[in-house]
Amino acid sequence: MIGRKFANISRLAVSYIILIVLAISALYPAIWIVLGSLRPGKSLYSKHFIPDQLTLVHYKELFTSQVYLFGTWYMNTLKIALCSMLIGVLLTLLTSYAVSRFRFKGRQTALSTLLILGMFPGFMSMIAIYLLLKEFHLLDTHLALIIVYAAGAPLSGTFIAKGFLDTIPRSLDEAARIDGASNFGIFSRIILPLSRPMITYMALTQFVGPWVDFIFARLILRTKENWTVAVGMWDMVNTIQNSNFTLFSAGAVLIAVPIMILFAFLQRLLVDGLTAGASKG
């Protein structure tokens, strides 16, 4: 009995140690960046983990500098991410609702096509997308990014959303149809309220993707005033003359703010939706 109790305590202690090490490994870089953004000067190196002096001058410089249009880049990225999220979530929900609730010719082919296309990395289609956008004179526009991000959302989200919609009983659809509800009425009044957990998940993932994307935005956007915040911050440290890493750290902290706020608000909706969804059957 004593040996078994000791073994259980040992396993529990090892588990806690592993969790503590993982937590420190995850939090240490984030704390270092936050402290670096408050450190005077341009270098992140310091003999002390906590700076002797703390300053907010880097945050002020981001929005007052004539060289870095951080405020403009920030608003550009926010507009692109929000529009892409709203359109992408709507397209994904409509697509997943159609393949989950209806049986039509070519349904399996469409699902197989989505599955196969989702396996290929986005880099493979980047040149083709670039040429299409060039033909439609959409290069160096935010509309180009919104279209591409939103159109790509169903490729990654349809199967996940379909799997969730399949768990909603079809008896609810049939009861609503007996009461005279149309397909759109069923979708808007029954499916959407019960799909809050999935909508929350898709909103989070489809906001974060455009918000932090650099490669495609760098390829499409040419004018400095049209840059996203990822492209603009890359320009901050691209050359030796612009190696202002404390300013870069301040920008990195500000980039994380909308994601944390969005997650904080949607986390409650996610929990509430999961709790409500557990009794829908």
pLDDT of residue 227: 92
Domain that holds residue 82: 69-277
Q: Based on the structure, what is the number of domains in the chain?
A: 2
> Is residue 231 located within the same domain as residue 147?
yes
Under-50 pLDDT residues of the chain: 273-281
CA trace torsion 205, 207, 209, 214 (10° rounding): -170
Q: Give the pLDDT confidence of 38-92 residue by residue, as tens digits.
A: 888 776 666 766 777 788 888 888 888 777 888 899 999 999 999 999 999 999 9
> Is residue 25 located within the same domain as residue 93?
no
Q: What is the pTM of this model?
A: 0.80
> Can you give the length of the chain in residues?
281
36 within some domain:
yes
63 within some domain:
no
129 within some domain:
yes
Dist CA 160 CA 118 (whole Å): 12
At a CB cut-off of 8 Å and minimum separation 6, what does 51 contact? Answer: 35, 38, 39, 40
109 within some domain:
yes
125 within some domain:
yes
Dist CA 112 CA 103 (whole Å): 15
pLDDT of residue 269: 66
Dist CA 95 CA 203 (whole Å): 16
pLDDT of residue 53: 79
Dist CA 267 CA 273 (whole Å): 10
pLDDT of residue 279: 42
> Is residue 271 located within the same domain as residue 218?
yes
CATH number assigned to the domain comprising residue 256:
1.10.3720.10
pLDDT of residue 142: 93
> Is residue 86 located within the same domain as residue 176?
yes
> Is residue 101 located within the same domain as residue 217?
yes
Determine contact, residues 145/210, Cβ cutoff 8 Å.
yes
pLDDT of residue 145: 93
pLDDT of residue 272: 55
Q: Phi then psi for 121, rounded to 5 degrees? A: -70, 150
Is the backbone of residue 40 left (phi > 0), alpha (psi -120 to 50) or beta?
Answer: beta
**Amino acid residing at 160:** I
